[in-house]
Amino acid sequence: MTVDTRIPAVSSLAQNQLPRATTPVLLVLSLAAGAGLSAALGFSWAWFAVFFIVLFAVVNTTVSGVVEGRRKATDKLVTTLVYTAFGLALIPLISVSWSVVDNGLERFGADFLTTSMRNVTGLNDQQAVDGEAEFIGGAYHALLGTFLITGLATLISVPIGLLTSIYLVEYGRGRLARAITFFVDVMTGIPSIVAGLFAAALFAVLFGVGTRNGFAGAVALSVLMIPVVVRSSEEMLRIVPNELREAAYALGVPKWRTIVRVVVPTAISGIASGVTLAIARVVGETAPLIVTAGFTSSINSNPFSEWMMSLPAYVYSQAMRPLSGSVPEPSFDRAWAAALTLVLIVMLLNLIARLIARLFSPKTGR
């Protein structure tokens, strides 16, 4: 009788472990070395980051590879890469947010939101920079235009989108429903500028070439908004439990009343938050408005005639065509302030969508 005394084979992962402190120590060492190397080249943050990350990745992987084996080394290398990717992506994202807030606050305020650009010229900007006159010129006309155009687009898109989603969920069987589903998918892929061209071409055919007004912009935006509304409402209607519908039918309620009084109210919080997100998506669309609603510096509260300014078009025109070629800074400041306004509107809409979804969701009782 023999007793097996062999030592069981141990996984390479379970032996030759580095002490836990290795990685942090190497991290600090590479930080110091990176700082030293970049200082030798004349310090810059970019070189510091490059040296630090490359050094750390190489040293950490090599040490781990020598002591712990190839598999653990690969794992550590990938971990470094993932953290680097994350850090790298943070740079533009933080910088976008920071530039908008920092530059935007320069001119953002009640004056900016309540005055238009009418009769504001490069001369005013010149005087403002020289300190001879007050800084004037705001984005009221653009804000008004954005509200009107987006509001009209919402008025067009929500009924069509909601009814279509009801058709798809409650009635649609067969070829028509499949065709609608497919083409709604196609519509989500339409580039925004093409939607703008469509509205421009439509109004050119109906009302003559060169027709530009707020309503054309609203039509362009609805082309972009309808598929989003259909998709989100459809998703919400589909998760309404069938038991609710069956209970209503069993009580003798007609189908249309079941939909209007039972199905839609159950899903209303999801639908409303989907619509809000769709508005947030189109409120910042620039390209379709440039080709349909045009630019103006005056207040225009009639979306059915004359050109109409919108916030995104305002940002674009102030940034690309400053009022004064020699002192563009006041125009750039206005562009940033309008960008801040736009971002605030989008964030507010997102927040509202989340609140709606949370506050008005049906109580499940569990």
Residue 306 is a binding residue for another protein (CB under 8 A): no
| Beta carbon of residue 1, minimum distance to another protein (angstroms, whole number) | 33
DSSP string, 143-194: HHHHHHHHHHHHHHHHHHHHHHHHIIIII--HHHHHHHHHHHHHHHTS-HHH
How many residues of this chain interact with another protein, rule: CB under 8 A? 96
Contact between 148 and 301 (Cβ < 8 Å): yes
Interface with another protein (CB under 8 A), residue from 262, 346, 352, 357: 346
- Spell out the alpha helix ranges (H) of 240-292: 242-250, 255-258, 264-283, 287-292
Q: 3-class SS at 211?
A: coil
Residue 36 is a binding residue for another protein (CB under 8 A): no
Binding flags for another protein, 255-274, as an x/- string (CB under 8 A): xxx-xx--------------
| Beta carbon of residue 300, minimum distance to another protein (angstroms, whole number) | 16
The distance of Cα 195 from the centroid of its chain, to the nearest Å, equals 19
**Residues in the chain, overall count:** 366
Interface with another protein (CB under 8 A), residue from 216, 283, 308, 323: 283
Residue 286 is a binding residue for another protein (CB under 8 A): yes
Give CA–CA dist 315/322, Å, rounded: 10
Residue 304 is a binding residue for another protein (CB under 8 A): no
- Which of positions 182-201 make contact with another protein (CB under 8 A)? 183-195, 197-198, 200-201
Residue 209 is a binding residue for another protein (CB under 8 A): yes
Give CA–CA dist 275/349, Å, rounded: 10
Q: 3-class SS at 108?
A: coil
Contact between 323 and 120 (Cβ < 8 Å): yes
Residue 79 is a binding residue for another protein (CB under 8 A): yes
Residue 287 is a binding residue for another protein (CB under 8 A): yes
Give CA–CA dist 61/75, Å, rounded: 9
Residue 226 is a binding residue for another protein (CB under 8 A): yes
Considering only the stretches 70-78, 111-119, 130-138, 239-247, report the one whose residues sit in contact with another protein under the rule CB under 8 A.
70-78
Residue 32 is a binding residue for another protein (CB under 8 A): no
- Which residue, chain included where needed, has tokens 């707020």? 214
- Which of positions 85-124 make contact with another protein (CB under 8 A)? 85-86, 88-89, 92-93, 95-96, 99-100, 103
Residue 40 is a binding residue for another protein (CB under 8 A): no
Interface with another protein (CB under 8 A), residue from 139, 291, 309, 323: 291
Which residue type occupies 106? E
